Amino acid sequence: MGAKMVEFNGWDMPVEYPSAGGIIAEHNAVRTGVGIFDVSHMGDIQISGPDSLAAVQHISMNDASKLAIGQAQYSALLYPQGTFVDDVVVHRLGENDYMLVINAGTREKDVSWVRDNCAGFNCAVENLSDDFTQIAIQGPKAENLLQKITPGTDLSSVKSYWFTRGNILCFEKSSRRYLGDILIARTGYTAEDGFEIYVPSDEPTSTSVWNILLEVGKEFGVVPCGLGARNTLRLEGKLPLYGHEISDTINVCEAGLDRFCKMDKPDFIGRSALVHAKDRGLTRTLVGLEMTERGIARDGYRVLDDGGKEVGYVTSGSFAPFLKKNIALAYVPPEFAELGSSLKVEIRNQPVAAKVVPTPFYKRPKKSAS
C-alpha cells in the first residue's frame, strides 16, 4: 500500500498513506466521504459469567446496567484516585457477557488491572486482543461502503453506539466466502459516523477484508487512513487520547468527562476520590484553543497568561485539516477557561496568541432526512 510506517507501542503501524494523498487528504476523505483504518493495535477484554455486570460496574465509571444486549457505551477504568487506567468502550455481548475495547499503549496494564480487580467476582476475564483485528470504516459514506459487503445485515438499523453480528463477504481472486458472526459496531474515533468491525486476526483473513473494502469502496472514493489522520480527526472532535488528555495523573472532572461518570450507580473504583475532587473544586480544566497568531501548538508546549506567566500546558495540538485552523487542547486553571479568554502558547521561546474556543472544534452536521 506504500504506507509510511511508525512504531507505536510496539506495533508497526501505518502513520499515513502517501499514495492516498497523505494525512490531509485522508482526514478530509473521512469528513466528506469514507476512509478505512487498520486499528488492529486496539485490545479487547471479555468479561463473562454470573457476576460479570457487577464486575464491570465495579471497574468502570459509566453505568453498564443501562446497556441492552447489542449496545455499547464510552467509559473508563479508574484508579482509586479518580485518575485514568484507560478509557474504554464497553459492549454488552449477551446476558452476562461484556467486552471492553482498550488502547494499545495500556494493553498489558489494562489486562492485569482488570484481572486483579475482577478477582472477587464470579466471572471469567479473557484477553481477546490477539484474536481480533479491528478495522474502522469512517465517514458519511461508511454505511454505503460497508453495506456492500454485509448483504444480510441492514446497517441503517444499527444506531450509534449499538452493534450487531453479521456475515462479511470476503473474496480472494476467484473464490468468495462469508466470514460469519462478525461483530459490527457503529462506533469510531473520528467524530464522524462510521463502523468498527472485529474480524479474525489471522493475516489472510484480515488482509482480504481490508482489500475488499478498498476494492468495493472505489465508487465511494475510499481512502486508506493511518494513525496521523486518526489523531487529527479525534482532535477536531475533542476525543481524548490516553497519555495526552487523560492519564494516571489527570482525573475525570479535570478531563471534563463527568457525563460518562455515573456517581449515582453502585460504588466503583475511583468514586470516592471524585466526590472529594468535586467538593474541592477544579484546579485545572481542559480547554480548546485556537491560535490567533501564526504558529502551531504542539503537545507539551507551555501555556502562558497575557503577562507571560506559565499557567498550563498543551496536551494535543495540530493544524486541523478540515477546519484549516491551528487548534489545541490544553489544561489551564478554571479562571482562564472562559470562552474568548486570551492566552499565549510558548512556541520555540516565543509567546504566540491563542484564544479559548468552544469544543468540540468540529461537530458533524446532522443527517438530513433522506
Q: Which is nearer to another protein, 162 or 319 (CB)?
A: 319
Asked whether position 232 contacts another protein by CB under 8 A, the answer is yes
Q: How far is the CB of 190 from another protein (least distance, A)?
A: 15
Asked whether position 23 contacts another protein by CB under 8 A, the answer is yes
Asked whether position 22 contacts another protein by CB under 8 A, the answer is yes
Q: Find the binding residues for another protein in span 304-343 (CB under 8 A).
A: 318-319, 321, 326
Asked whether position 16 contacts another protein by CB under 8 A, the answer is yes
Cα(265)–Cα(66) distance, rounded to whole angstroms?
10
Asked whether position 228 contacts another protein by CB under 8 A, the answer is yes
Cα(79)–Cα(76) distance, rounded to whole angstroms?
10
CB 82 within 8 A of CB 270: yes
Asked whether position 296 contacts another protein by CB under 8 A, the answer is yes
Non-local CB neighbours of 353 within 8 Å, separated by 6+ positions: 291, 292, 293, 342, 343, 344
Long-range contacts of 143-151 (CB under 8 A, 24+ apart): 143/193, 143/195, 144/34, 144/220, 145/34, 145/213, 145/216, 145/217, 145/220, 145/222, 146/184, 146/195, 146/197, 146/213, 148/216, 148/217, 149/209, 149/212, 149/213, 149/216, 150/184
CB 115 within 8 A of CB 305: no
Q: How far is the CB of 12 from another protein (least distance, A)?
A: 16
Q: Which span sits near another protein by CB under 8 A: 11-19, 34-42, 60-68, 92-100?
A: 11-19
Cα(303)–Cα(332) distance, rounded to whole angstroms?
8
Cα(343)–Cα(340) distance, rounded to whole angstroms?
9
Q: Which is nearer to another protein, 282 or 353 (CB)?
A: 353
CB 136 within 8 A of CB 193: no
Asked whether position 24 contacts another protein by CB under 8 A, the answer is yes
Asked whether position 298 contacts another protein by CB under 8 A, the answer is yes
Cα(250)–Cα(255) distance, rounded to whole angstroms?
7
Q: Which is nearer to another protein, 18 or 333 (CB)?
A: 18
Q: How far is the CB of 330 from another protein (least distance, A)?
A: 17
Q: Which is nearer to another protein, 226 or 256 (CB)?
A: 226
**Any idea which residue has 468535586 for its cell?**
278
Q: How far is the CB of 184 from another protein (least distance, A)?
A: 30
CB 251 within 8 A of CB 61: no
Q: How far is the CB of 144 from another protein (least distance, A)?
A: 27
Asked whether position 294 contacts another protein by CB under 8 A, the answer is yes
Q: Which is nearer to another protein, 312 or 317 (CB)?
A: 317
Asked whether position 18 contacts another protein by CB under 8 A, the answer is yes
Q: Which span sits near another protein by CB under 8 A: 13-21, 30-38, 88-96, 177-185?
A: 13-21
Instruction: Provide the binding-site residues for another protein, judged by CB under 8 A.
Output: 4, 15-16, 18, 22-24, 228, 232, 294-296, 298, 318-319, 321, 326, 348
